[in-house]
Amino acid sequence: MRSRVLAVLLLVGLSYNLLAVAPRIANWRLPGDQQDYEPEQPLAYSHRLHAGDLQVPCLYCHFGAERSRHAGIPPASVCMNCHTVVTAPMGAVRAEDEAAAREKRQPRRIVSAELSKLYAAMGLDEHQKPDSSRPSRPIRWVKIHNLPDFAYFDHRPHVKAGVECQTCHGPVEQMERVRQVQPLSMGWCVNCHRDANARGVHGKPVYASIDCVSCHY
């Protein structure tokens, strides 16, 4: 009798624990399966504004995609190509210019909060002068598209074949904050390669390997 009571208590305890961890188990994913992953970034960079409204080409910032297997995160110096001059949204700058004209004074320099973070990361003050109180430090961007170590992906042949960035990364030109749109699973990649072999890329015939050793070696 005692052993039966202990068995019942053990089963009840196990059931309770399973119910407690069930929501967590449901959210477990294999490495690389991070569909809909949308982390907050240390600096609010809007792809919708840059890639969408301003139509900045993806490869202007992610130039590594043409040269190596990794697209890479652009260094802050690439941002400064534009943001040496552009220090705030144009609406804020225009409003200050109009206010200065009404008040018959010189416009004040407007620096947005996010660009102030960029300047700080480069060791600069808001006038872009070296600031000893702000030692330069890298911006710790959070990587979004993480493939498992056993999968090899090279950006170069995809870019060379004319595969659009949005094929894998989704409509980034519409995203305020980038998220992982596609599953990037083995099945998804193989199906994409099969479709490319059957239809080509932009009407151009291509050979996209579906051999295991192409991605796993």
> Does any domain span residue 126?
no
DSSP 61-126: H-GGGGTSS---PPPHHHHHHHHTT--S-HHHHHHHHHHHHHHTSPPPP---HHHHHHHHHTTB-T
In a domain, 83, yes or no: no
Q: Which two tokens stand for residue 167?
A: 């094929």
Report the length, in residues, of the chain: 217
Residue 62 is assigned to a structural domain of this protein:
no
Give the pLDDT of residue 8: 55
Mention every residue, 6+ apart, whose C-beta is less than 8 A from residue 164: none
pLDDT of 6 strictly over 90: no
User: pTM of the prediction?
Assistant: 0.79
Closest by CA position to 184, among listed 150, 211, 143, 148: 148
Q: List for the chain the helix, strand, coil content (%; round to 5).
A: 50, 0, 50
Indicate the average pLDDT of the chain. Answer: 89
Residue percentage of the chain with pLDDT more than 90: 81
Query: Stretch 194-210: mean pLDDT, rounded?
Result: 95
198-209: average pLDDT: 95
Residue 124 near residue 130, CB atoms below 8 Å? yes
pLDDT tens digits along 168-186:
999 999 999 999 999 999 9
Between the alpha carbon of residue 72 and those of residues 21, 111, 180, the distances in Å are 37, 27, 16
Q: What are phi and psi of 195, to 5 degrees?
A: -65, -40
**Predicted confidence (pLDDT) per residue in 146-176, tens digit:** 888 899 999 999 999 999 999 999 999 999 9
Residue 15 binned pLDDT confidence (cut-offs 50, 70, 90): low
In a domain, 148, yes or no: yes
pLDDT of residue 127: 93
For residue 108, the Cα-to-chain-centroid distance in whole angstroms is 34
Reading the block at residue 94, the tokens are: 């225009």
Residue 167 is assigned to a structural domain of this protein: yes
Q: What range defines the domain where residue 160 resides? A: 32-44+143-215
In a domain, 177, yes or no: yes
Q: What pLDDT sits at residue 18?
A: 54
Mean pLDDT across 38-49: 96
**Which residue is listed with tokens 């600031």?**
131
Q: Identify whether 193 is part of a domain.
A: yes
User: Residue 155 domain-assigned?
Assistant: yes
Residue 92 has pLDDT above 50, yes or no: yes
User: Amino acid identity of 157?
Assistant: P
- Number of independent structural domains in the chain: 1
Q: Do residues 40 and 177 lie in contact, with contact meaning Cβ atoms separated by under 8 Å?
A: yes
Confidence of residue 26 (pLDDT cuts 50, 70, 90): very low
Confidence band (pLDDT; 50, 70, 90) for 51? very high
What pLDDT, in 10s, does the model give residues 56-89? Answer: 999 999 999 999 999 999 999 999 999 999 999 9
Cβ pair 215, 189 in contact under 8 A: yes
